[in-house]
């Protein structure tokens, strides 16, 4: 009932939901009718373990679809071992460090997870993953194995880090490193897969791993900022002490009083400020993707992140519950993120929304204004909101060349969106007409 009310009070989001579910065209519809049992099983596990990534992975170009699906499931299995607090560290650490070696086998399984661990199905049925893994191109296998090794060892290092286990994240540098291990490495692996497939153009001089790391960090920092209360209730927090110690001598105090709420809100805003430091790299990275479904796969989580940061910023509800964007907003963002101009428009919109919510009493009011201005200016360099005066020339930046080299990539995306929208409006016109005529007849 709550979702229905949301849609009825936000009709444009209702239209977006109908568009997404019934009118959006997938360039490469997935067909598993002739697939092996192992491959079908893997896609079943994808549906069971991922709410946000399953649909967009299934829409990927066939060259990458199975490789990225398998990469996701392997890392999901790895993460399930790391997250399960019932597993003795003496067992857990060797499993994490040696996890990449299991990819060389054909029948390895792990049955040591708690019965309450919902994603254990991937570990208990790991041979299905192994069978598909061995059908991938050797180059794709190498990328998956390399990044599984990096992530597994990073997880093991944190488990053995007594300082981290006792006090959490200390400095901002520690925070960045933590985000790198849990999200940045994923971004680097995906980047290697996309690059190897020929779906990106990372020219000489472009640090693709720095950009990929920012992509992962932006998502992870957004989640950490949003999940403040939930993490604290679970007895942990990933807010770096270098940030929260400016506002309190103990994080739980943020939940204890109105004064604590004011300090807590300032801390949340500081975390948003930190996350926004990744935004320009995110936009730069997306400008270098050259294939429609790969672009969509990369862009959708990023627009969700900037929308979430706008929802979280200066919102005292973050201290009381997990704040999320509306389902209808999610549908709208998915549709808007099919082209680079669409993504830039979304970033501009939410940067301005954050700016409107800024409070001069916030300790980081000026810093936030500067950061938002930098992102807005970068968006303006990408796609100027006004034409240049006659005879004037723009000082071109690398980002302008990246956009020019995209060719007709975004134009085709806009044309497809326009065609879908036209069909949706035609159907809605007929539906409204039928409802109107039926209503008139009822009252005659």
DSSP at 236: -
**Which member of 72, 178, 228, 378 is catalytic?**
178
Decide: 308 and 226 in contact? Cβ < 8 Å: yes
| Bridge partner residues of 200 (DSSP) | 289
- Give just the sign of the alpha carbon dihedral 428, 349, 302, 246: negative
Catalytic residue flag (residue 226): yes
- Angle at which helices 11-18 and 327-336 pack, to 10 degrees? 60
Residue among 65, 76, 226, 332 flagged as catalytic = 226
Q: Which of 403, 394, 304 is nearest to 346 (CA)?
A: 304
Is 348 among the catalytic positions? Answer: no
Three-state secondary-structure class, residue 200: strand
Those residues whose C-beta lies under 8 Å from the C-beta of residue 34, and which sit 6 or more positions away, are none
Question: Token pair of 408, please?
Answer: 């007709």
Report angle CA 268, 269, 273 to the nearest 5 degrees: 120
Distance, CA of 17 to chain centre? 20
Q: Exactly one of 23, 199, 239, 297 is catalytic; which is it?
A: 297
What token pair was written down for 66? 């199975």
The size of the chain, in residues, is 444
Give the Cα separation of 248 and 263 in Å (integer). 7
Q: Are 352 and 377 in contact (CB under 8 A)?
A: no
| Tokens describing residue 34 | 């002739």
Phi and psi at 238, nearest 5°, equal -110, 10
Catalytic residue check, 178 = yes
Active site residue 381: no
Structure tokens at 106: 């054909």
Q: How far is CA 354 from each of CA 70, 278, 362, 383, rounded to the nearest angstrom?
A: 37, 16, 13, 20
Backbone angles phi, psi at 339, to 5 degrees: -135, 160
Q: What is the set of active-site residues?
A: 178, 226, 236, 297
């Amino acid at each position: 009932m709550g979702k229905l009310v949301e849609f009825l009070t936000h009709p444009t989001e209702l239209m977006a939901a109908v568009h997404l579910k019934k009118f959006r065209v997938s360039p490469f519809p997935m067909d598993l009718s002739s697939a092996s049992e192992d491959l079908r099983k893997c896609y079943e596990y994808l549906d069971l373990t991922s709410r946000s990534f399953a649909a967009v992975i299934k829409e990927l170009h066939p060259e990458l679809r199975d490789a990225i699906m398998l990469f996701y499931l392997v890392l999901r299995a790895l993460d399930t071992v790391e997250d399960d607090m019932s597993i003795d560290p003496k067992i857990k650490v060797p499993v994490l460090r040696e996890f990449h070696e299991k990819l060389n086998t054909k029948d390895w399984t792990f049955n040591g997870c708690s019965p309450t661990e919902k994603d254990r199905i991937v570990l208990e049925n790991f041979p299905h993953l192994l069978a598909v893994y061995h059908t991938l191109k050797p180059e794709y296998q190498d990328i998956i194995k390399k990044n599984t090794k990096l992530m597994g060892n990073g997880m093991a290092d944190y488990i053995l880090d007594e300082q981290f286990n006792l006090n959490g994240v200390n400095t901002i540098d520690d925070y960045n490193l933590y985000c790198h291990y849990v999200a940045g490495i994923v971004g680097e692996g995906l980047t290697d897969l996309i690059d190897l497939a020929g779906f990106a153009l990372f020219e000489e001089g472009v640090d693709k791993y720095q950009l990929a790391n920012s992509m992962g960090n932006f998502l992870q920092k957004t989640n950490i900022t949003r999940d403040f209360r939930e993490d604290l209730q679970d007895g942990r927090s990933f807010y770096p002490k270098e940030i929260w110690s400016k506002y309190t001598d103990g994080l739980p105090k943020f939940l204890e009083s109105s004064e604590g709420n004011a300090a807590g809100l300032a801390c949340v805003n500081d975390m948003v400020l930190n996350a926004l430091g990744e935004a320009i790299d995110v936009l730069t990275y997306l400008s270098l993707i050259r294939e429609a479904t790969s672009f969509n796969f990369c862009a959708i989580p990023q627009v969700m992140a900037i929308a979430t940061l706008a929802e979280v910023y200066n919102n005292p509800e973050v201290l009381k519950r997990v704040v999320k964007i509306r389902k209808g907003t999610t549908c709208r963002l998915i549709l808007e993120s099919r082209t680079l101009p669409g993504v830039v428009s979304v970033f501009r919109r939410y940067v301005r929304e954050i700016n409107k919510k800024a409070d001069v009493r916030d300790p980081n009011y000026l810093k936030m204004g500067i950061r938002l201005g930098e992102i807005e200016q970068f968006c303006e360099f990408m796609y100027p909101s006004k034409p240049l005066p006659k005879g004037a020339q723009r000082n071109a930046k690398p980002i302008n060349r990246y956009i020019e080299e995209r060719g007709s990539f975004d134009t085709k995306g806009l044309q497809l969106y326009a065609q879908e929208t036209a069909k949706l409006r035609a159907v809605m016109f007929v539906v409204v007409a039928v409802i109107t005529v039926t209503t008139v007849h009822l009252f005659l």
